[in-house]
């Protein structure tokens, strides 16, 4: 299955196919004539897939090297980027060479950030290996690293030359990590695709979803493709992808990053927004119940405790209060129909009410 992302200055294909990783060499050969390729990956993914990929690329006569860093969000830093720059310079990488990002969202964000800044930008490819990366982070060209103060605060917009998605690699993923992706999949269906929603509804559990994951990934990539094409630089419509994320990010931050995963926090955020929006008459009655039963089926949390309401409010509004800004939030008119609404910061307190 192929999808093309078409932007004013660049277009690229996404290939989605079980087992396609065995053809990685043909794929790269069609896209690049580069002499050197640096595979950027983390230790976990390297052990599982690193040497397979590098051996395949060696066969095609590419000069392949590998930059491997410790798995986990804390590696998505300027310090790791610095090490990667030194690595590339040591290996004599020039602008005719390229980077292949092999891994989850952490690898993808870091490797694409490095590619877009080393020598003011060299070519890169994405080979996402988590469900979250396959439906979300590898598409759309947002690159990022974290600083001590905030996540994703440093980054660029830079599109890859291609994305190769092999759902087979999901077999080695931990359950909690699979659910990270499922939360975003439910989000896509909720904001933009009633037929995807119905499909998800028809699966009895995450195992059945995984059996059909190729078509689910395709549907999600198609939604993200459309939104990114309309708003490459995140000036408007792309915000719709933030459904559940305003409260979700706050839940993650207040709990301490890693305690509640991103997907779990987003699941709670989607339910909470819909609960309050329904009470306000802004969302069709029954939407929250539909979200809850969908998320529960996939073992994602839906319960939201109001105990931390004040902390969450602070986390959401702290940088906006002084300027009296409004906040843009995403609500569902109905399942499959998300919309962006601008509210005053005080209104956020309503959206944090649990009962």
Ligand X SMILES: NC(=O)c1ccc[n+]([C@@H]2O[C@H](COP(=O)([O-])OP(=O)(O)OC[C@H]3O[C@@H](n4cnc5c(N)ncnc54)[C@H](O)[C@@H]3O)[C@@H](O)[C@H]2O)c1
Binding positions for ligand X, rule: CB under 6 A = 42, 44-45, 48, 71-73, 76, 103-107, 109, 129-130, 132-133, 136-137, 140, 142, 151-152, 169, 172-173, 177, 180
Q: Select 150 or 289, whichever has its Cβ closest to ligand X.
A: 150
Query: Which of 63, 229 has the CB closer to ligand X?
Result: 229
Is 18 within 8 Å of 214 (Cβ atoms)?
A: yes
* Least distance from ligand X to the Cβ atom of residue 112, Å: 8
Residue 137 beta carbon to ligand X: minimum distance, rounded to whole angstroms = 3
Is 112:154 a contact under the CB 8 Å cutoff?
Answer: no
User: Which has the closest alpha carbon to 187: 131, 254, 106, 251?
Assistant: 131
Q: How many CA atoms lie within 13 A of 344 on its CB side?
A: 3
**Residue whose CB is less far from ligand X, 34 or 67:** 67
| Least Cβ distance, residue 110 to ligand X (angstroms) | 8
* Smallest separation, CB 122 to ligand X (Å): 18
In the bound state with ligand X, the residue whose beta carbon lies nearer, of 288 and 316, is 316
DSSP letters for 18-61: TTGGGGHHHHHHHH---SEEEEEEEHHHIIIIIHHHHHHHHHTT
Cβ–Cβ under 8 Å, residues 116 and 143: yes
**What are the start-end ranges of the H helices in 91-165?**
105-117, 131-132
Q: How far is the CB of 50 from ligand X (least distance, A)?
A: 11
Report the residue number, 98 or 248, with the smaller CB distance to ligand X. Answer: 248
CB-nearest residue to ligand X: 105
Question: CB-side exposure of 106: number of CA atoms within 13 Å?
Answer: 20
Nearest residue to 164 via CA among 17, 10, 59: 17
Sheet with 10-16, strands from edge to edge, namely 2-7, 10-16, 162-165, 123-128, 98-103, 36-42, 63-69
Q: Return the structure tokens found at 145.
A: 């690293």
Q: Which of 4, 152 has the CB closer to ligand X?
A: 152
Q: Least distance from C-beta 61 to ligand X, angstroms?
A: 27
Backbone angles phi, psi at 109, to 5 degrees: -65, -45
Backbone angles phi, psi at 146, to 5 degrees: -95, 160
Answer whether 301's CB lies under 8 Å from 182's CB. no
Which residue lies nearer to ligand X by CB, 183 or 352? 183
What is the smallest separation between the CB atom of 266 and ligand X, expressed in angstroms? 10
Strands (E), 241-325: none
| C-beta of 42 vs 161, nearer to ligand X | 42
Give the dihedral sign, CA 242/195/134/117.
Answer: negative
Least spacing, CB of residue 341 vs ligand X, in Å = 22
| Residue 172 Cβ vs ligand X, minimum distance, rounded to whole Å | 4
Residue 267 vs 292, nearer CB to ligand X? 267
């Amino acid at each position: 299955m192929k999808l093309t992302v078409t932007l004013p200055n660049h277009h690229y294909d996404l290939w989605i196919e079980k087992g396609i990783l065995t053809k990685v060499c043909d794929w790269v050969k069609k896209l690049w004539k580069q002499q050197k390729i640096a595979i950027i990956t983390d230790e976990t993914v390297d052990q599982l897939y690193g040497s397979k990929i590098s051996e395949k690329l060696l066969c095609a006569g590419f000069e392949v090297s590998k930059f491997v860093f410790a798995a986990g969000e804390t590696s998505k830093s300027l310090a790791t980027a610095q090490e990667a720059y030194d690595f590339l310079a040591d290996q004599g990488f020039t602008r005719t060479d390229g980077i292949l990002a092999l891994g989850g969202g952490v690898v993808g964000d870091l490797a694409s950030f490095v590619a877009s800044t080393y020598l003011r930008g060299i070519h890169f490819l994405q080979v996402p290996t988590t469900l979250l990366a396959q439906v979300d982070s590898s598409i759309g060209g947002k690159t990022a690293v974290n600083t001590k103060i905030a996540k994703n605060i440093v980054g660029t917009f830079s599109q890859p030359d291609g994305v190769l998605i092999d759902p087979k690699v999901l077999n080695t993923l931990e359950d909690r990590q699979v659910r990270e992706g499922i939360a975003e999949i439910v989000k896509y269906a909720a904001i933009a695709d009633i037929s995807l929603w119905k499909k998800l509804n028809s699966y009895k559990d995450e195992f059945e979803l995984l059996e059909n994951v190729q078509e689910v990934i395709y549907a999600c990539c198609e939604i993200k493709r459309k939104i990114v094409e309309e708003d490459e630089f995140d000036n408007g419509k792309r915000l719709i992808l933030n459904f559940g994320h305003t409260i979700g990010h706050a839940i993650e931050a207040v709990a301490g990053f890693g305690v509640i995963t991103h997907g779990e926090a987003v699941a709670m955020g989607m339910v909470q927004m819909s609960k309050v929006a329904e009470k306000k008459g802004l969302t069709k009655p029954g939407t929250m119940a539909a979200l809850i039963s969908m998320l529960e089926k996939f073992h994602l949390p839906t319960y939201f405790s109001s105990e931390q309401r004040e902390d969450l409010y602070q986390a959401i509004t702290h940088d906006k209060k002084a300027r009296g800004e409004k906040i843009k939030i995403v609500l569902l008119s109905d399942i499959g129909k998300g919309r962006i609404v601008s509210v005053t910061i005080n209104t956020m307190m309503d959206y944090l009410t649990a009962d």
